[in-house]
Amino acid sequence: MAVLILAAMCLAFASPAQDNAAAVPKPIISVLLPLQLDSLFELDKYRFGNNIPRFALPYLEFYNGVQLAVDSLRKEGLPVHINIVDSRELGSMQVALTNPLVRQSKLLIGVAANVNELRQMAEFAKTKRIPLLSATLPNDGGIKYNNLLYVLNPTMRTQCEALYGYVLAQHSKDNVILLTRKGTIEGYLKSWLEAAGAKSVRPIRWKTSMLTDSFSVAQLLPLLDSTRQNVLIGASMDLSFAGRLAQQVAGAKRYKCTLVGMPNWDELSLNKAEYKGLELVFGTAFLSSSGNLDLYTRLSKQYSQLQNSKPSDMVLRGFETTLRYARAIVLADSSELPVLFNSRAYRVFNDFNFQPMTDGTESQVHYFENRKVHFLKLVDGQLKGVY
């Protein structure tokens, strides 16, 4: 049923009623999404039966969130036009950026599937002097000297710095162990954590170990201390490695252990029997139910009526980003973008803390990044604390 609703939604989107910027008297916010409708449909016929392909699902969920935000904006009577553009139209971001409404926008909300797409959006935004909010990609794309780019999802370097700060504040007297595996990304994560330690006035004294993908609990036991709390930092984005580490730590029943992981570890299904008793902590910039329970409850009920399921993180991201910054663009009386983007007056679920990023030796801003990171503690997959 949800697939049929989604297919009907996409078909309606594929033939927008308004294509002329001059016909829209309201402020325009353009949402650039890699919906890939050309891949989903053939001659207006949905190609995937009762399934939604994995490559399209997160972007379609973000789109659903945008639609929920449009409904809220309509109810609030805010005069704003939300222009949704398939950034993979005819397979080209450059085609999407020729859309006349995009060129007349007061704000661009970009959902980049990769670094190259982010760079194209950012260059366009800089040329046209339109602020760009990168909503999902935790990467700055190596972009420099673009003070109109706002990176909402903290980069992994920022996540590592925040993680180090969390462990230092909460577990500096515990037995801290840094665990990783061989890999390019893992090398970066380890170096960023070590760099954060080098800046600290009282660095964490930790043990380090590189594990193979087939490691067992026997390799962890010599690192653990039965007389102290053990804090194991998993410096890897590989979910197979993360799942194995979580399983092996949960199996070390004689030891008090806390596992600290990367932001994508929220994808682990920790309510399974093999994770019984596991305490997992990970960082995120985005809270949902714990950020605004009343709104989350209303939104979940509305979404359930439409899709017969709970809204995913991408649905919530699409909803929050669109609603918050549409309100800001329409209602703000300040032209200072960093102040506007951080203002709690337009808060939905989360507080954001955009800060200028430089290389430390130049005064020129490369971009602005949200530096606000929360740490969630889960036990048996259930939320037990927010830090």
Q: Which tokens belong to 6?
A: 């989604």
Question: If you average pLDDT over residues 331-346, what whole number do you get?
Answer: 84
pLDDT digits (tens, 9 = 90+) for 184-233: 999 999 999 999 999 998 899 999 999 998 888 888 999 999 999 999 99
The pLDDT of residue 7 is 45
The pLDDT of residue 163 is 97
The pLDDT of residue 165 is 96
Question: If you average pLDDT over residues 120-147, what whole number do you get?
Answer: 96
The pLDDT of residue 334 is 65
Please tell me which residue, 165 or 381, carries the higher pLDDT value: 165
The pLDDT of residue 21 is 46
Instruction: Kindly tell me if the per-residue pLDDT of 72 is higher than 90.
Output: yes
Question: If you average pLDDT over residues 237-264, what whole number do you get?
Answer: 93
Instruction: Kindly tell me if the per-residue pLDDT of 362 is higher than 70.
Output: no
The pLDDT of residue 55 is 79
d(CA 324, CA 307): 23
Domains of the chain: 2-154+290-352 (3.40.50.2300), 157-284+375-386 (3.40.50.2300)
Q: What is the 3-state secondary structure (H, E, C) of 114-182?
A: CHHHHHHHHHHHHHHCCCEEECCCCCCCCCCCCCCEEECCCCHHHHHHHHHHHHHHHHCCCEEEEEEEC
Instruction: Kindly tell me if the per-residue pLDDT of 19 is higher than 80.
Output: no
